[in-house]
Chains A and B, each alone.
Chain A
Amino acid sequence: MKNKTIKVDYLARVEGEGGLFIKIKNDKIVESRFDIFEPPRFFEGFLKKRKFTEAPDITARICGICPVAYQMSSTHAMEQICGVKVDGPLRDLRRLLYCGEWIESHALHIFMLHAPDFLGYEDAIKMAGDYPEIVKNALQLKKIGNDLMIKLGGREIHPINVRVGGFYKVPEKKELEEFIAPLKWALATSLEAVDLVATFDFPDLERDYEFVSLRHPDEYPLCEGNIVSNKGIDIPNDKFLDFFEEYQVSHSTSLHSKVKKRGEYLVGPMARFHNNFDKLPPSARKAAKKVGLGKSCINPFKSIIVRALELVFSCEEALKIIKRYEPPEKPFVECLPKEGIGHGCTEAPRGMLYHRYKIDNDGIIKEARIIPPTSQNQKSIESDLQKFVEKNLHLSDKNITWHCEQTIRNYDPCISCSCHFLKLKINRE
């Protein structure tokens, strides 16, 4: 079978609409595309003329899976313009809210979207027939993440309690203390999850990635830190557009992104893990060692283990924050608008999310720029596909197609975010 086309019209178990197309001629791949056909929604267009205080509510609607990421990147950008620094318990509460989103999103992806691939099921509900305990625990984990978001955000999808400068209302200490027992259970379950997912069979694929993530001097990154890479980038977030650029391709309604000097790069759990291994809590580092993962992971299929390690981190971090929490006097810091440009870069569960805004003295948005993680990963996804298919041409079409889908799901892609979705075609001529 020298020539063929591999094609998936509508990729499942990802958020948004996309497909996959691979064309093979004389055992060589002539084309591999991750098509995104999510209808464009033009957020950057209609954010213009809106008030700067509306950005967190509006941009949250880009993604129902990671609204907190959008709220955090936009609020930080606006605060940068206003010259406000949110610190102390308010900063902690933001990290805690983000931990909720990481727990919810990672639990959803690890168990409901990704694990079925490794265990040979078409979805988690079918998997629940044979592995009821795993699915039950996964749902419970996910619920704890969602409950944290409900407590701090008012609801789990598109939280209403986030504002530029902080929150509308902050919880009492005892309201948060109710989470200690569930989070302890979640921590233990996450540690078990690391052991469990590490036993999966991983296709053999390793690549020399440029890992791009935030790095903070004191903590595993969520909202703050420099943008760094394993190939020498180390810049504050306002230099993002000097080092990275977006470009458009015809098969995607999502813009692609590259490092200006070099090309493709990867954002997300594997990048954060590589750049911040030393900032993980000891329990997560120990768990990584136990399952034989070094300080870095370059097999994209093993991203599921890294995601589980980040679950461990999120639970530890949430517990740490709750233990030291004392409610602030005021739920927010006053932010008065002034003309200027601001940048916000935070770590969505699936990778770094960059926002840039220009506002005027009345606080009206003049320009908005949003670069979501899935846009940034598109090129890397296509390269993974190409390398995987090259090495596995002997597999049946059915088998190779499923694995290609899995290759894309490795990234936990959020196509709604990137304004696009995925379709797979294998074309063996």
Chain B
Amino acid sequence: MPSIRIKPKLAVWKFASCDGCQLSLLDCEDELLAVAEAVTIANFPEASRHVINGPYDISLVEGSITTPHDAERIHKIRRMSKVLITIGACATSGGIQAIRNFNDVNEYISTVYPNPEYIETLSKSTPISDHVYVDFELYGCPINKYLLLEVLNAFLNERKPNIPNYCLCIECKRKGNICVMVAHGTLCLGPVTLAGCGAICPSYNRGCYSCFGPMNSPNTSSIAAQFEKMEIPKDEIVRFFRGFNAFSEPFRKESETYEK
């Protein structure tokens, strides 16, 4: 007897973020209709007002946790989701808004809002994995849309996603770029950054600023020592590590070393 194939249900959720990572899905102009054939888009408010109730086979989660309400909401989403995949730097490391974690958030609130009492926020911006179990983390600010398709494809076919876990330098060399740091003395975080973007910055004559975040076991102290040798002031080294993945553990620790 032929089995009836039920299309898996996909949900997309947003927390504190710029919407760019979920937009990556709509930016798959050549593949979007094929994706819509393969899954039922059950909850994706940015694209549709039609909502199908959970549970969901795959939840894509964008954004970081920054409010008491969101810290609750992510647990509900986890309970409704068979597989939960975080997409982007906000969801995987707290994002650019995690710069607040190194400062007093109350000072920020009063900088931005005349009536701070209306604003409810947590003192830190934290990644989703600080709150619930995450099945897979896709890095990037923003994510690479082709890697997103690969991750979806892998989970739909019950195989391991083929996502680079090596450093950007490998991708950069493979592209035939001249090393911007060696040849031009340009600051570059490539040696400690996950590959996956396509080494865009060095291809455009600028150093990597690590929007994909730290690779596995990065040697951040070695690259920082190199920056010191290049006579980069300490406050600039701190800022360099404190970018779009400021609160990822390796970058946080390295930036704190140079803050002292």
Q: What residues of chain A have their CB less than 8 Å away from a CB belonging to chain B?
A: 10-17, 38-46, 48, 50-51, 54, 57-58, 61-65, 67, 108, 112-113, 122-126, 128, 135, 139-140, 142-143, 146, 154-158, 160-161, 163, 168-169, 247-248, 250, 253, 255, 331, 402, 405, 414, 416, 419
Contact B26 A108 (CB under 8 A): yes
In the complex, the answer to whether A46 meets B50 with C-beta atoms within 8 Å is: no
Is the CB–CB distance between B142 and A157 below 8 Å? yes
List, in ascending order, chain A residues with CB within 8 A of B46's CB: 12-15
28 contacts between A and B (CB under 8 A): A12-B45, A12-B48, A13-B47, A15-B19, A15-B46, A38-B16, A41-B125, A42-B109, A46-B103, A57-B209, A62-B18, A63-B20, A67-B18, A122-B48, A123-B49, A125-B41, A125-B47, A139-B30, A143-B29, A156-B27, A158-B141, A161-B206, A163-B206, A168-B201, A248-B114, A255-B113, A416-B17, A419-B112
Q: Which of B29, B119, B206 contacts A253 (CB 8 A)?
A: B119
Known contacts A39-B66, A65-B20, A125-B36; A169/B108 CB under 8 A: no
Nearest to A11 among chain B residues (CB) is B45
- Does B49 lie within 8 Å of A139, measured CB to CB? no
Q: Do residues B33 and A125 form an inter-chain contact, with CB atoms below 8 A?
A: yes
Contact call B29/A112, Cβ cutoff below 8 A: no
A45 and B29 within 8 A (CB) = no
Q: Which of A48, A126, A158, A169 contacts B50 (CB 8 A)?
A: A126
Question: Which residues of chain B have C-beta atoms less than 8 A from A146's C-beta?
Answer: 27, 29
Closest to B197 in A: A155
Whether B121 pairs with A40 at a CB distance below 8 angstroms is yes
Q: Are A46 and B36 in contact (CB under 8 A)?
A: no
Chain B residues closer than 8 Å to A62, beta-carbon distance: 18
Among A10, A54, A108, which residue has its beta carbon within 8 angstroms of that of B45? A10
Apart from A154-B201, A155-B197, A168-B201, 4 more pairs, CB < 8 Å: A15-B46, A44-B108, A65-B19, A135-B33
Chain B residues at the A interface, C-beta cutoff of 8 Å:
14-24, 26-27, 29-30, 32-33, 36, 41, 45-51, 63, 66-67, 70, 95-97, 99-100, 103, 105, 107-109, 111-115, 118-119, 121, 125, 141-142, 197, 200-201, 203-206, 209, 211, 236, 239, 243-244
Nearest residue (CB) in A for B14 is A17
B121–A67 contact, CB under 8 A? no
Chain A residues contacting B16 (CB-CB under 8 Å) are 38-39, 41
Contact B48–A40 (Cβ < 8 Å): no
Contact (Cβ within 8 A) A139 B21: no
Q: Are A16 and B29 in contact (CB under 8 A)?
A: no
Cα–Cα distance between A64 and B47 once the two chains are bound (Å):
15
A61 touching B200 by the CB < 8 A rule? no
Determine if B19 and A154 form an interchain contact, defined as CB atoms under 8 angstroms apart.
Answer: no
A26 to chain B, nearest CB (A): 30
Complex contact B50–A123 (CB within 8 A): yes
Q: Judging by beta carbons under 8 Å apart, are B47 and A124 in contact? A: yes
Minimum CB–CB distance from B30 to chain A (whole Å) comes to 7
Separation in Å of the A412 CB from the closest CB of chain B?
Answer: 12
Residue of A61, A135, A156, A253 near B141 (CB, 8 A) is: A61
Residues of A within 8 A of B29 (CB): 139-140, 142-143, 146
Distance in angstroms between the alpha carbons of A169 and B19 in the assembled complex? 27
Chain B residue with the shortest CB-CB distance to A163: B206
Alpha-carbon distance A308/B16, docked complex (angstroms): 31
| B49/A13 in contact, CB under 8 A | yes
**For residue B30, which residues in chain A have a CB less than 8 angstroms away from its CB?**
139, 143
Q: How far is the CB of B233 from chain A (nearest CB, A)?
A: 10
Question: In the complex the two chains form, what is the Cα distance from A196 to B211 in whole Å?
Answer: 41
**Chain A's nearest CB lies how many Å from the CB of B80?**
15
List A contacts of B141 (CB < 8 A): 61, 158
**Beta-carbon contact of B111 and A13 below 8 Å:** no
